Amino acid sequence: MDNSANRLLVVDDQPDILDFVGQVAESVGYSVRLANDARQFRDAVRAFQPTLMILDLQMPQTDGIELIRELGMLGTRATILISSGMDQRVLQSAEQLGLSHGLKMAGFLQKPIMLADLEAILGQHLCAPRVPTEEELRRAIDRAQLLVHYQPKCTLRDGRWAVAGVEGLIRWEHPELGLVYPDAFISLAEKTGLIAALTDFVLQEGIRQLGLWRAQGTNLDLSVNLSPHLVRELDFPDRLADLMRAHQLPNSRLMLEITETAALEDPARTRDILTRLRVKDFGLSLDDFGTGFSSLTQLYRMPFNELKVDKSLGMELHQSGEARTIVRSLIDLAHNLGLRVCTEGVETPGALAFLETAGSDYVQGYYLGRPMAATAIPPLVADPPALAATA
Ligand code: C2E
Ligand code: MG
Ligand code: MG
């Protein structure tokens, strides 16, 4: 992938417009990709991961509305500008559609495109790779700028994929930067010790939400990511059990996801805490398996009861025979060790069909549902997307 901070994808069926916008954008400081049909567009979204898109609403085979819907399904984080010569009402309803899919819609570029307008708008969206500071993160915790989104985790029930649980994923509603995703601040939180407060927030909020759903008749499991630094506090299992009790939830409803590297550090103390968590009936999942410093030994040294196959493998299943072989082997390995398997990064029906045959106990990915606000979960549980099993 291109590593520059400003990556622009321009989609238009007119080559002269593509050239014009592309040249101006490069002079302003963007790295640019041009697409003049839907296939090129899809390839570029995946491989180039643009930060900004300029999308023409009127295209011959696929229209811009269809592309907006697709971007919604893909969960793209790019900012989107609509370019068109159409009347304001059409543009506004296209923008509304994008917003309702959770996209970052940033307005319009009226055609014919004027050089000065284009330079101004591209300049506005040029992001200096500004990263949040420690002070801002501290304030975010105090001022309730953090929130939790929930991504469905599905399992096969009566021949259909049904939502069995959710993974709570933290987000930061930053006053200037907008919605900030965890990759941009988890390591800062870990370095500064703020990770403890942040994790407390996710646990408290997630468990409260689980209690609320249960009171409304929706019984779900919750998975929460646990930072390495917290697997050192000896009183953690007891604090967690108190929190579950306060919401009248059985401990077995909570799964803690820990990464391999976390499990590697300070093994004796880690094993003490993890074992006590398991004795109390909390679930333990080895997250992001298949990346970084994989150590198979963690699987039998530590009391995990779930293995989570990393999304980088899940995302390759539909196109890579090697990925399919690796995932199939990991599933068998985990099952032979008595662990359940959850495969992440399921983005296509092909990947889902493969995982069903390979025997993945749980699946998680954009194809089954993106991380979403708590209110969107019960409707999804009641009326799951039509994902009939294929086997
Ligand atoms: P993770 O625990 O492996 O979470 C899954 C990540 O993969 C999420 O990104 C999710 O949005 C993304 N994802 C899920 N399905 C798909 C898919 O089909 N395709 C693609 N391309 N991506 C998919 P997110 O929310 O940005 O989280 C990134 C990482 O940040 C998480 O990875 C986790 O390690 C960390 N994180 C998130 N919340 C917390 C938290 O509360 N505490 C700690 N310590 N870490 C957290
Ligand atoms: Mg996780
Ligand atoms: Mg993961």
Residue 110 has pLDDT above 60, yes or no: yes
CATH of the domain spanning 7-124, picked from 1.10.10.60, 3.40.50.2300, 3.40.1710.10, 3.30.365.10: 3.40.50.2300
Residue (of 227, 254, 222, 223) closest to 240 by Cα position: 254
| Averaged pLDDT for residues 80-93 | 86
Check if the beta carbon of residue 256 is closer than 8 Å to that of residue 220. no
CA atoms within 13 A of residue 305's CA, in its CB half-sphere: 14
* Residue closest by Cα to atom 20 of ligand 1: 345
Residue 55 has pLDDT above 50, yes or no: yes
Higher pLDDT, 278 or 36: 278
For ligand 3, the distance from its centroid to the CA atom of residue 286, given in whole angstroms, is 9
Residue with tokens 């907006």: 68
What CA–CA distance (Å, rounded) separates 123 from 82? 16
Could you give the maximum distance between any two Cα atoms of the chain, in Å?
67
Residue (of 220, 205, 206, 203) closest to 154 by Cα position: 220
Check if the beta carbon of residue 61 is closer than 8 Å to that of residue 37. yes
Residues within 5 Å of ion ligand 3, judged at the Cβ atom: 287-288
pTM value is 0.74
pLDDT of residue 391: 40
Check if the beta carbon of residue 9 is closer than 8 Å to that of residue 52. yes
Where do the domains of the chain lie?
7-124, 134-382
Q: Is the dihedral of CA 56, 62, 63, 68 positive or negative?
A: negative
Q: Give me the CATH code for the 134-382 domain, please.
A: 3.20.20.450
Coil vs helix vs strand at 45: helix
| Cα distances (angstroms) measured from residue 221 to each of 206, 259, 282 | 10, 19, 11
Q: What is the pLDDT of residues 306-360, one digit of tens each?
A: 999 999 999 999 989 999 999 999 999 999 999 999 999 999 999 999 999 999 9
Ligand 1 within 6 A of 169 CB?
Answer: yes
For ligand 1, the distance from its centroid to the CA atom of residue 381, given in whole angstroms, is 21
Higher pLDDT, 129 or 124: 124
In sequence order, what are the residues at sequence separation of 6 or more whose Cβ sits closer than 8 angstroms to the Cβ of residue 256? 223, 224, 226, 277, 282, 283, 284, 285
